[in-house]
């Protein structure tokens, strides 16, 4: 799962809450949470401690995203990698 976050001042807090909620939802349903990729133009202190599986900075290269998602999906067993 990829998601983009607006408002850099809140990126770390929002990403933590969204990521934890998605993972808890999967556990509640007895499923494995999908890999979570944070996409944000924020950097440095705004992303410290982010619980996402990976972070992609904006602007991004589509090949970078493609490679990252293939690696994460293959590593997690989601999809066919």
HEC string of 10-24 equals HHHHHHHHHHHHHHH
Q: In DSSP terms, which residues pair with 54 in a beta bridge? A: 37
Instruction: Give the tens place of pLDDT for each residue, 20-66.
Output: 888 999 999 999 888 888 777 776 666 667 788 888 888 888 999 88
- In this prediction, residue 4 carries a pLDDT of 61
- In this prediction, residue 75 carries a pLDDT of 56
- Strand order of the β-sheet with 54-57 is 2-4, 37-40, 54-57
Burial class (CB in 10 A: 0-12, 13-18, 19+), 72: buried
Q: Which residue has the higher pLDDT, 8 or 15?
A: 15
- In this prediction, residue 52 carries a pLDDT of 82
């Amino acid at each position: 799962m990829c998601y983009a976050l607006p408002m850099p001042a809140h990126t770390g807090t929002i990403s933590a809450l969204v990521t934890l909620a998605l993972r808890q939802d999967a556990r509640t349903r007895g499923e494995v949470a999908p890999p979570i990729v944070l996409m944000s133009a924020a950097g440095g202190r705004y992303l410290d401690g982010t619980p996402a599986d990976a972070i992609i900075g904006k602007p991004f290269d589509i090949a970078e995203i493609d490679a990252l998602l293939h690696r994460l999906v293959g590593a997690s067993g989601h999809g066919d990698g």
